């Protein structure tokens, strides 16, 4: 058997492109590689040298028209783009529908919460779980310079932080409260003045901080900091904005 295979490899044949001018005589085991590179292969991919640079079969070069081919290529790509845009629009409709259903569900839960103590407890639990899920999705942060804390951020800075929180998926029912809690006027007693902040700096290390994505700011959420002294925490949490010192 091995002998037969050896003899087979020694057999020679003409190139399949002999009718097109190739005079090569090859061993059977090298024929396949030769056909790929054979310059007489009419289907050999060739780059157009007239300007468009498209790679086309050699036997189609004579009738190749750069402008026509490029227009066809553009039309094909435009068709794909239109398909993608339509798919994106459909996905947005689905997302908006889900958001609408979620809003309706939340409104229903709020209405039930007013009239039904059991539903009130259930709705409260759902909202707490939503906050916890969001908190778990955020990266941990480490404050290296507590002295860089901005206790009275201006409106522009607050809007930047609020936008970042919204984009991170912050539950809508707590975002306004969190932003109110970014100013010292809403901070707990242990942080309410420069003097108390200086006196309690050793307690800062107890905080579990989460990063506000893309900003020099951290979230100190109540759900992450149940171990912290009451005079250092408020619900649903604190937003601390810094000039520098966040890792």
Per-residue pLDDT of the chain (247 residues), as tens digits, is 444 444 445 677 888 878 878 888 888 777 878 877 888 888 888 888 777 878 888 878 778 888 887 888 888 888 889 889 899 988 988 888 888 887 787 777 667 666 667 767 777 778 888 889 999 999 999 998 888 888 899 999 999 999 999 999 999 889 999 999 999 999 999 998 888 888 888 888 899 999 999 889 999 999 999 999 999 999 999 999 998 878 8
Judged by DSSP in three states, 219 sits in strand
- Report pLDDT for 212: 92
- Report pLDDT for 234: 92
The bridge status of strand 12-14 relative to strand 25-27 is antiparallel
Q: Is 53 left (phi over 0), alpha (psi -120 to 50) or beta?
A: left
Q: Supply the pTM of this predicted model.
A: 0.54
Gap between the Cα atoms of 197 and 188, Å rounded: 10
- Report pLDDT for 112: 66
- Report pLDDT for 164: 92
Given this structure, which CATH class describes domain 2-60? alpha beta
Assess contact for 210 and 221: CB atoms under 8 A: yes
Gap between the Cα atoms of 111 and 99, Å rounded: 18
DSSP 12-80: EEE-TTGGGT---EEEHHHHHHHHHH-TT-TT-EEE-TTTT--EEEGGGSTT--HHHHHHHHHHHHHHH
- Report pLDDT for 114: 63
- Report pLDDT for 3: 45
Assess contact for 238 and 220: CB atoms under 8 A: yes
């Amino acid at each position: 058997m091995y002998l037969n295979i050896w003899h087979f490899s020694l057999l020679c044949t003409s190139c399949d492109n002999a009718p097109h001018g190739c005079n090569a005589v090859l061993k059977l085991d090298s024929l396949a590689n030769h056909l790929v590179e054979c310059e007489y292969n009419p289907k050999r991919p060739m780059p157009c040298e007239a300007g468009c640079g498209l790679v086309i079969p050699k036997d189609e070069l004579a009738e190749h028209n750069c402008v026509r081919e490029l227009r066809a290529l553009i039309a094909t790509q435009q068709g794909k783009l239109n398909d993608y845009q339509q798919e994106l629009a459909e996905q947005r409709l689905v997302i908006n529908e889900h958001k609408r259903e979620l809003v309706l569900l939340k409104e229903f839960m709020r209405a039930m919460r007013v009239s039904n103590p059991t539903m009130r407890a259930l709705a409260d639990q759902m909202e707490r779980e939503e906050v916890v899920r969001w908190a778990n999705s955020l990266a941990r942060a480490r404050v290296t310079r507590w002295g860089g804390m901005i206790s009275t951020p201006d409106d522009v800075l607050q809007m930047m932080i609020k936008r970042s929180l919204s984009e991170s998926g912050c539950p809508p029912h707590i975002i306004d409260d969190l932003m109110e809690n970014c100013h010292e006027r809403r901070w707990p007693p242990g942080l309410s003045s420069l003097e108390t902040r200086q006196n309690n700096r050793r307690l800062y290390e107890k905080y579990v901080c989460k990063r506000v994505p893309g900003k020099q700011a951290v979230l100190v959420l109540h759900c992450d900091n149940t171990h912290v002294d009451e005079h250092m925490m408020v619900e649903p949490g604190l937003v601390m904005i810094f000039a520098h010192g966040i890792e």
